[in-house]
Structure 1
């Protein structure tokens, strides 16, 4: 697809996803995952009800397979445990 058409489509899709997350989790944190000061991905986390929810996590392809996602999950497990909450996530096959 032509870049001039692709970028607005991607921007629209990103904004729709962001709005959907904010509607479901108004107090969500949108965090950038950095490795040595370089953006490697992002995660979205929300404390809702009686749990800490990992709403979404994504790594850029160049950073996959290096244990970064596992490290993020462990950090969120510690955060949840420190708050006396379970960590919850929902997996989608789409």
Structure 2
């Protein structure tokens, strides 16, 4: 397998998002669109912010750190686009500026939130929770069994959010906790 550079990365063919965006969030200037090749640089910057706490613990020269993050991002991107090629790769925007990503595979029985991430300035404002709640409503509407996801064991804030939103712990897989949420049974 040959090494890829950031400029070689691509997303699966673009298509319109199948999940409508919340009207309440749209009125506040938020939206999403399908990711395209031109979004790779933003996704790489986002990836770096999501690993900032971990990288702060390692005393590497800047060029070594950057090279490591590039290689890890390339591997993650290739994994996501190869193993979840039918997922929706969405860029979350505010007033036309990229602020996060959502990768969603709508496959039975539970939809898989492959990845969700926001730039740090957009975290802890309720946006992630609002997006997950919207996905929960869309799963209900589509008569899916529910949602599943994985969260890093060293991410207690995200874990607490998912628990508040009704997700249940399912087990551990490496460095990740597997979680799921099922559509409540009709009463």
Give the TM-score of the pair, scaled to structure 1.
0.82
Query: Gaps (5+ residues) in structure 2?
Result: 1-60, 154-174, 176-187
Alignment size in residue pairs: 93
Q: Deviations over 1:26-59 (max 9, x none)?
A: 2111111112222111111002331211111111
More strand by share: 1
Counterpart of 2:150 in structure 1 is 90
CA RMSD of aligned residues (A): 1.8
Partner of 2:68 in structure 1?
A: 9
Q: Tell me the CA shift for residue 81 of structure 1.
A: 1.4
Taking the TM superposition and a 5 Å limit, the aligned residue runs for 1:73-88 are 73-85=132-144, 86-88=146-148
* Structure 1 position 69 matched with structure 2 position 120: no
Specify every segment of 5 or more residues in structure 1 that has no aligned partner in the other structure, as ranges.
none
Q: Which residue of 1 aligns with 2:95?
A: 36
Greater radius of gyration (CA)? 2
Normalising by structure 2, we get a TM-score of 0.45
Report the alpha carbon displacement of residue 12 of structure 1 after superposing the two structures with TM. Answer: 2.0
Aligned to 2:159: none
